[in-house]
Every structure is written in C-alpha cells, then in structure tokens.
Amino acid sequence: MTSRDGDHLKGRSPRVKRLAEQWAVATPHDLTYMSSVVDACKAAGLVAYEPMLRRGKRAWRYVFASAAFVEWVKVDMPAIVPEHSEDGSPCEQFEQEMYGFCSGYALAFGSDTRCLEPIRLSVWELKTPDLRMFGWFCAKNYLVLHKGEKKGPEGLERWDDYKPFIDEVVSFRNGLVTNLPQYVVGGLADVVSNRSESI
C-alpha cells in the first residue's frame, strides 16, 4: 500500500487500518492448488484478501475482490451502524466472516450464504448480521466479491432491492478480460468444500 493509498485511513481506528492493510495485490504465498486460478485473478486486476489465521494454518478457501469492493470495505463499510450492538461493528463482522470463510468452516445455506435468483446467473450473497456481499465463485473455494451493501431497513429489504447488485456483478464478470473461468454453476457443495477437522 502506498502512502497515497493510506491517506484515507488517517483518523480511522487501528482495527479499520488493520482491515484495510489486509488487502494486498494477489500474491498469495501458499497457493499451489489451482495456481492457474490465482494467476488469472491477478491478471484480471483482482485483489486477494489475506486472512489473519492462527499460526501454522493455511487458508482453505480464498477471496478475491474488485477494486469497487475494496473501496466499499475501506470507505463505506466502517460508516455502517450495526442494528444490534451485540453483533459487533461491521468491521468486526466482516473480519469474522472472512476468517470463517477462509478457514474452511462449514457454511449454512440461507444464513451464511445463498445463490440469488435467477440461479442460472450464479451470483452468490455472503451474509453477516448487517452486511450483504455479492460475487461469484470462479472455481470451487475461490470467491470473487464485487459489491457490498448494508442489510435493511435502510439497505436491502425487498427481493427487488437485490436486482441492481446482481446485474452489476454479472456486468463486471462479463467485462473481465482474462482466462479466469467465468463461474461455477450449482449448489453450495459445488462452490465450497469444508476443511477436515484433522487438517
């Protein structure tokens, strides 16, 4: 991150600064499985999220993001007021969700994630109590995020509210000039696998 990139972080809390610094140009150090997917994400200008995992643990799943999503995380997300204080700040919710996702914890369809209608477009939603994040799986266990929004009542409440986000994800995905696989079609078991407890 350049000093110019860090100007918008002045006056932010240490947690927000740390969160912003976790986004790095896609150079994962331990990715050997499906390295062609990683290379394609890098070539497409996508940004890799580097989770803070326990010492000695490697990521099981990987998250890449568009510049628009990274900007939303750094600028818009910290301004969201949580609906319930016990859920933690949006930054805390985001960190917890990314930790669980990248660690390979089992996801529950509907409460953690879901494929949005129409299913044939394969646009997925990752959820926290106050956040909704939209993207697609370019390969199994490889999620690309492009849009984020606050959950209702000021944000997403009705099904029709989701359509602009679905359209933007599809438009961005279709516009990528890369050899990245376009998207994985199917249900939850087709897009993610869970880490074995023994690993």
In-domain check, residue 195? no
Tell me whether strands 113-115 and 124-127 are parallel, antiparallel or unpaired: antiparallel
What's the pLDDT score for residue 24?
Answer: 41
In-domain check, residue 74? yes
In-domain check, residue 98? yes
CB 128 within 8 A of CB 93: yes
Type of residue found at 54: R
Provide the residue count of the chain: 199
**pLDDT tens, position by position, for the chain (199 residues)?**
333 444 544 555 555 555 555 544 333 334 444 568 888 898 899 999 988 777 777 889 999 999 999 999 999 999 999 988 888 999 999 999 999 999 999 998 888 899 999 999 999 999 999 999 999 999 999 999 999 999 876 667 677 888 999 999 999 999 987 777 679 999 999 999 998 864 4
pTM, rounded to two decimals: 0.80
What's the pLDDT score for residue 1?
Answer: 33
CA 68 to chain centre: 12
In-domain check, residue 190? no
| Spatial CB neighbours of 11, under 8 Å, sequence gap ≥ 6 | none
In-domain check, residue 16? no
In-domain check, residue 144? yes
Give residue 94's domain range: 22-179
How many domains does the chain divide into?
Answer: 1
